[in-house]
A and B are shown apart, each in its own frame.
Chain A
Amino acid sequence: MSAIVLAVIGLVAISSGYFFYSKFIAEKIYQLDPDFETPAHTMRDDVDYIPTHRIVLWGHHFTAVAGAAPIIGPAIAVIWGWLPAFIWVIGGTIFFAGVHDFGAIWASVRNRGTSVGSFSGDVVSPRARTLFMIVIFFLLLMVNAVFAVAISDALVASPSAVIPVWSAIAVAIVIGVLIYKVGVPILWPTVIGTIILYVVIYVGDRVPVELPEVFLGLGAAPQWIVILFAYALVASLLPVWLLLQPRDYINGIQLIIGLGLLFGAVFIANPTIVAPAFNTNVPEGTPPLIPLLFVTIACGAISGFHGLVASGTTAKQLNKETDARFVGYLGSSGEGLLALVTIIAVTAGFASLAEWEATYTAFGTTGIATFVAGGSTIIAAGTGLPVEFAATLLAVMAVLFAGTTMDAGVRLQRYIIQEWGTIYKIPTLQNGYIATFLAVGACLALAFGAGGSDGQGGMSIWPLFGTTNQLLAGLTLLVISIMLVKLRRRYIFTLVPMVFVTIMAFLAALYQLWDLFTSQQYVLVGLDILIVIAAIFVLLEATSAFFREKRAAAAPSG
């Protein structure tokens, strides 16, 4: 089958979702009011609350949610064939992710712009707020470990990406200093920085860097993991304007260029999808499609992490309530497009079915490297660029996304540990350096416990990460549904996705419990048990809160 057909069907479906379904949700369900004064106006303080142009907010939402995760998830999940992944990504983006992100912004705007976690205490129950905190902590712990493993695998697979990836940090610091300290207008550093980055990609392509095969008893991949966490330790202590801010900005530009290049190349080269629609010949040890597909692809179909972005920052800066549809729904649609192009890259970027099957030999061994291999073939065919250069370019793009997520993840975790220090009055934990060391140490231990130490690149932690992400999405959808019940509106459009993702996450956690136990990965078994318990509590909380509110709404008022 032609990849163009798949791309066109996906693009048309996602656009229809925005033009028709999100319009219906905006008008009939969330009932956005153009005259409603948003918290950005009523609580304006020019620090957190400030009305911002909707295109800027959309760009922020889109670049914050579209990272390495919508690349890794589909790159693993097409092992069941391209059709299940395609249906889940497109259907998920339209009916799940869009409604979730859009709803999180709306709910937050109607609750003084606070985060979903914090107002869930008022809307649902204090228990829901505690659950939010626990699930977020697990998510952050796993995010850093999972991305460290993913980056180390990618750097081992693409040695040509090493120089550009680390040079990007220097480029970011120069841009940060130029803009913040020297006060140079932004356009020049943007243009020159982007050009330098692409020149360095060319250099990296010529000068690949490989770490020694064994150093101090560690293989190449574990060595990278240690280096990455050492970097994350330093990076998370630096002021944000110096590194994190310009790095995010460069990534945003990379994302837009990368997406344009990939979709453009697909339309010019028109590659053929060699992978089967349904893979009846899955490698031994592949878990069942239901429920694992729905946690393997989290970002790209629906992800609870989006709710944190939507309600944490976006909602405080929304100029008009009606902008929520454009920012939230279209922002998550952008991520769906990245997942879509990844599906095409990892199913149409191979010469034959035999070559594809030779890549997909076991569940969880594919990821960024597979996306790079497939995507670079398509880019080379479509644009005439050398395939090695295209591969370096894609590897750099994916690693930069994952790297920035790690930077932010370690920083957030440090804040959580410092907060515990304040709550429980432990002055040692309040120290920024100690908190950072603890955060990095915990993630490093998990990364090594999650298959990083043997350098085999086992991403056995990936589905667990997806499970936690879906639980968070379920919690956010629960809060939105309860708000709709209280307002006596139709709640089916948020409740069905909520029930679906939570049950899938629960089943997936149970399945993995058995799977991890038999493969003797006891660190992850422990983590999984905690996640199963959290999932049970989410389901119980949802049921009790939902029926309580329904009874309250049914009772005659007055």
Chain B
Amino acid sequence: MKWADIKEKLRWCAYLASEAYNMPYRSTVARAKREQDDLFMLLIFSEMMGIPNPATYYTLELQPIMLERFHDWHTRMGMEHSPLDGFRCC
């Protein structure tokens, strides 16, 4: 038997083993992952749906650090005032 054949056989074994490992719990793990993703999406799009985003409140802590850069940014973007409700500027 050639080396390449042995490698091919080993690869097949590894495929079978990983399928045997993952297959019975694939849906459970995928479902848990999907639930996390769903929560993440909800956070991202919450303001679009009128739900206050809790992350906004916590970003207030960044205000002192970001303030100067933020002011430059919104004036460059052609906005006189801060466009964000949770992040006031001028």
Taking Cβ atoms with an 8 Å cutoff, the residues of A that contact B are: 46-48, 50, 52-53, 55-57, 59-60, 64, 179, 185-187, 190, 239-241, 244-246, 248-249, 252, 313, 317
Is B21 in contact with A239, judged by CB distance below 8 angstroms? no
Is A179 in contact with B21, judged by CB distance below 8 angstroms? yes
CB neighbours (8 Å) of B29 from chain A are 240-241, 245
CB neighbours (8 Å) of A57 from chain B are 23
10 A/B residue pairs, CB under 8 Å, sorted by A: A47-B30, A47-B34, A50-B26, A53-B16, A53-B19, A56-B16, A59-B16, A187-B17, A248-B24, A313-B27
Complexed CA–CA distance, A252 and B14 (Å): 15
Is B20 in contact with A59, judged by CB distance below 8 angstroms? yes
Given contacts A53-B19, A56-B20, contact A186 B25 (CB under 8 A): no
Q: Closest CB-CB distance, B10 to chain A, in whole Å?
A: 7
List of 8 A-B pairs having minimum Cβ-Cβ separation, nearest first: A56-B19, A47-B30, A186-B18, A245-B25, A48-B27, A186-B17, A249-B21, A187-B14
Complexed CA–CA distance, A50 and B24 (Å): 12
Is A47 in contact with B17, judged by CB distance below 8 angstroms? no
Is B20 in contact with A60, judged by CB distance below 8 angstroms? yes
CB neighbours (8 Å) of B26 from chain A are 47, 50
Apart from A240-B28, A317-B23, 12 more pairs, CB < 8 Å:
A47-B30, A47-B31, A50-B26, A53-B19, A56-B19, A56-B20, A185-B18, A186-B21, A239-B32, A241-B25, A245-B24, A246-B21
**B27, B29, B30, B32 — most chain A CB neighbours (10 Å):** B27
B13 at the interface (CB under 8 A from A): yes
Work out how many contacts link A and B, with CB atoms closer than 8 A: 56
**Which of B14, B19, B21 lies in contact with A245, CB distance below 8 A?**
B21
CB neighbours (8 Å) of B14 from chain A are 185-187
Is A56 in contact with B32, judged by CB distance below 8 angstroms? no
User: Nearest A residue to B24 by beta-carbon distance?
Assistant: A60
CB neighbours (8 Å) of A53 from chain B are 16, 19
CB neighbours (8 Å) of A64 from chain B are 24
User: Nearest B residue to A46 by beta-carbon distance?
Assistant: B30
**Which of B10, B17, B23, B31 lies in contact with A60, CB distance below 8 A?**
B23
Complexed CA–CA distance, A53 and B18 (Å): 12
User: Nearest B residue to A244 by beta-carbon distance?
Assistant: B25
Mark contacts of B1-21 with chain A using CB atoms, 8 A cut-off: 1 yes-contact digit, 0 otherwise: 000000000100110111111
CB neighbours (8 Å) of A186 from chain B are 14, 17-18, 21
Complexed CA–CA distance, A64 and B25 (Å): 12
Q: Closest CB-CB distance, B38 to chain A, in whole Å?
A: 13
Q: Closest CB-CB distance, B43 to chain A, in whole Å?
A: 22
Q: Closest CB-CB distance, B32 to chain A, in whole Å?
A: 7
CB neighbours (8 Å) of A245 from chain B are 21, 24-25, 29
Complexed CA–CA distance, A313 and B34 (Å): 19
Complexed CA–CA distance, A52 and B16 (Å): 11
Complexed CA–CA distance, A179 and B28 (Å): 16
**Which of B16, B18, B30 lies in contact with A55, CB distance below 8 A?**
B16
CB neighbours (8 Å) of B34 from chain A are 47
CB neighbours (8 Å) of A190 from chain B are 17
Complexed CA–CA distance, A249 and B24 (Å): 9
CB neighbours (8 Å) of B28 from chain A are 240
Q: Closest CB-CB distance, A302 to chain B, in whole Å?
A: 22
User: Nearest A residue to B32 by beta-carbon distance?
Assistant: A239
User: Nearest A residue to B14 by beta-carbon distance?
Assistant: A187
Complexed CA–CA distance, A53 and B30 (Å): 19
Q: Closest CB-CB distance, A342 to chain B, in whole Å?
A: 24
CB neighbours (8 Å) of B30 from chain A are 46-47
Is A187 in contact with B10, judged by CB distance below 8 angstroms? yes
Complexed CA–CA distance, A59 and B22 (Å): 12
Q: Closest CB-CB distance, A140 to chain B, in whole Å?
A: 17
Complexed CA–CA distance, A548 and B64 (Å): 78
Q: Closest CB-CB distance, B66 to chain A, in whole Å?
A: 34
Complexed CA–CA distance, A293 and B28 (Å): 37
Is A240 in contact with B16, judged by CB distance below 8 angstroms? no
Complexed CA–CA distance, A190 and B10 (Å): 13
Q: Closest CB-CB distance, B23 to chain A, in whole Å?
A: 5
Q: Closest CB-CB distance, B49 to chain A, in whole Å?
A: 24
Is A252 in contact with B10, judged by CB distance below 8 angstroms? no
Q: Closest CB-CB distance, A421 to chain B, in whole Å?
A: 18
